[in-house]
């Protein structure tokens, strides 16, 4: 039986104008890590929706039995909710949410006007992951990677353990997204932390160089770590993404 949703991990929707933003959280995280971002975008007048991705925001055991098709379906459902209410939609994301955002952009080009990704995650450099196809059957979990924050009293609500079967599922989706980057033609705004202890900053460069878009801006964050949406430069992300949404929606 699924575990109950943790306090503050609930999905959220803020009704605003005809411009919509779909927020997608990261692997083992929850909407809690994006709520301040969502509130800032809503103060700017936008309609905002942040779904809780399946297997997240409860207990890592739920995530361990979740396939990546469930994350894909949840992100598509979130997009559908906004396209019903809004004239134009932009997808904003953190970490693994960036992979989902790019996947949506490639698959639904007529429904998405642009993508904002903060420390997007498409690959890892940990050599131990080469053993993941075997390890996932022998070792249930690894230590969690949540709340990598440099200078903020805020903490990310994330699992303390990473289920290896779910990690393998995430990597399978990432392989799909890497192959379809050339189909992503929408404007991209990419924020990348100079010091990130979870995702190599090279992920952002990889996306910028391989995406099919001719409108790509990379913004370096000098003082924030991985969960930059809760870190000391979060207002820079909030203000910049609001300006981006207004620009790409005309």
Active site residues: 95, 196, 226
Helix (H, G, I), strand (E, B) or coil at 92: strand
**Which tokens sit at 244?**
């981006």
Q: Which long-range contacts (CB under 8 A, 24 or more apart) does 147-150 make?
A: 147/227, 148/196, 148/197, 148/198, 148/225, 148/226, 148/227, 149/224, 149/225, 149/226, 149/227, 149/230, 149/231, 150/195, 150/223, 150/224, 150/225, 150/231, 150/232
For 162, list phi and psi in degrees, rounded to 5: -110, 115
Closest CA relative to residue 23, chosen from 15, 40, 35: 35
CA 137 – CA 52 distance, rounded (Å): 27
Q: What angle do CA 21, 112, 216 make, to 5 degrees?
A: 95
Give the gyration radius of the chain's Cα atoms. 17
| Residue among 35, 46, 27 at smallest CA distance from 11 | 35
């Amino acid at each position: 039986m699924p575990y109950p949703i943790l306090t503050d991990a609930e999905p959220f929707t803020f009704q605003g104008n005809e411009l919509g933003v779909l927020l997608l959280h990261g692997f083992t995280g929850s909407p809690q890590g994006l709520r301040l971002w969502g509130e800032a975008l809503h103060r700017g007048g936008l309609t905002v929706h942040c779904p809780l991705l399946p297997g997240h925001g409860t207990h890592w055991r739920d995530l361990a039995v979740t396939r990546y098709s469930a994350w894909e379906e949840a992100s598509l459902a979130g997009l559908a909710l906004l396209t019903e209410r809004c004239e134009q939609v932009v997808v904003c994301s953190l970490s693994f949410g960036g992979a989902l955002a790019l996947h949506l952009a490639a698959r639904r080009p007529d429904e998405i006007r642009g993508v904002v990704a903060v420390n997007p995650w498409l690959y890892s450099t940990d050599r131990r992951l080469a053993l993941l196809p075997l390890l996932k059957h022998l070792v249930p979990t690894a230590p969690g990677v949540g709340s990598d924050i440099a200078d903020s009293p805020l903490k990310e609500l994330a699992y303390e353990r990473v289920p290896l079967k779910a990690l393998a599922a995430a990597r399978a989706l990432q392989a799909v997204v890497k192959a379809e980057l050339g189909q992503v033609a929408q404007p991209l705004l990419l924020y990348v932390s100079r010091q990130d202890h979870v995702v190599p900053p090279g992920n952002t460069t990889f996306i910028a160089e391989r995406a099919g878009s001719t409108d790509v801006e990379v913004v370096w964050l000098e003082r924030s770590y991985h969960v930059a949406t809760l870190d000391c430069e979060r207002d820079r992300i909030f203000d910049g993404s609001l300006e981006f949404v207004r620009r790409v929606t005309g």
